[in-house]
Copies of this chain bind each other. A is one copy, B any other.
Amino acid sequence: MRATDIQTVRALPLFAGIGEAQFNALMDAALLQRFPAQVQLIREGEEADFLHVVVEGLVEMFASSDGEETTIGFLAPVSTFILAAVLVEKVYLQSARTLTPSRLLMIPAGAVRKVFAGDTAFAGAVVNELAERYRDIVRQLRTQKMRTGIERLAAWLVAHGEATPDGLIVRIAFEKVKLASFLGMTRETLSRSFAALAEHGVSVSGRTIRCADADALVRLARPEPLLDEHGRPAA
């Protein structure tokens, strides 16, 4: 593992206040692995044996049921996942796969629990992380129950767009069918929602979306400060 990678991981809020010895203990136990795209890293129902950190690449969290799949979130570097399952020694409720070639740091669950018990700062950071994740999911549930498909799309665009002189530009880093699944609709409905947004100044070319009139989108999304203003979006 390169020193720069360690620095990156060290800088994560989760490890920010942790003691040097404890951090080293985690890193010594950890494995850094490369995975090609489309590798399933975690299967729901299995025992949680590692805390994962996305160091490079892109990871999708998803759930499957009856052959169907729904995307729960996307993880870009540097973020951790399945902390909850690791801490309570339960099976995963979600599955994960790489969407692009990725490098993952995998910290054995036992090591995480041990350091948690012994390092107050780490315990605090873990709680913060868990609480934030919890709040993310609550936001997703609210969005799912209270907004229509097109509103969810508008909100997502607003949240992920980059303001430029030309208006809002959004570059989707994955297949549109994944976005559709995350937003809780079929690919066909997503496609039609984009088409419907055309009259609000949205033009799509491939995975790049340009929104001439960001305000129109914001109005459409019926923004909720509580839902949309937060540090780390769910995806």
| Copies of this chain assembled into the complex | 2
Asked if A142 and B70 make an inter-chain contact with CB atoms under 8 angstroms apart, the answer reads yes
The interface size of chain A toward B, counting residues with CB under 8 Å, comes to 47
| Overall SS of chain A's interface | helix
A 90-109 to B, binary, CB cutoff 8 A, 1 in contact else 0: 11011000000000000000
Interface stretch (choices A29-37, A120-128, A158-166, A168-176)? A120-128
Known: A91-B226, A93-B226, A141-B137. A63 touches B146 (CB 8 A): yes
**Shortest 5 CB-CB contacts between residues of A and residues of B:** A84-B131, A88-B131, A137-B137, A134-B134, A130-B130
Per the bound structure, the CA–CA distance linking A137 and B65 in Å amounts to 17
Q: A72-B141, A138-B94, A144-B141 are in contact. Are A117 and B127 (CB under 8 A)?
A: no
Q: Given contacts A90-B131, A126-B127, A130-B130, list 15 more A-B pairs with CB under 8 A.
A: A44-B226, A72-B138, A83-B131, A88-B127, A88-B135, A94-B138, A116-B123, A116-B124, A117-B120, A120-B120, A123-B127, A127-B130, A130-B131, A133-B134, A137-B138
Q: How far is the CA of A68 from the CA of B147 in the complex (A)?
A: 10
Q: Quick check: is A209 within 8 A (CB to CB) of the other chain?
A: no
Contact between B117 and A124 (Cβ–Cβ < 8 Å)? yes
Task: Report Cα–Cα, A134/B10, bound state, in Å.
Answer: 25
Which listed residue, B83, B87, B135, B140, touches A141 by the CB 8 Å rule?
A: B140
List of B residues within 8 angstroms of A90 by Cβ: 131, 135
* Docked CA distance A131–B93 (Å): 12
- The distance from the CB of A55 to the nearest CB of chain B, in whole angstroms, is 24
Contact with B along A200-232 (1 / 0, CB 8 A): 000000000000000000000010111100000
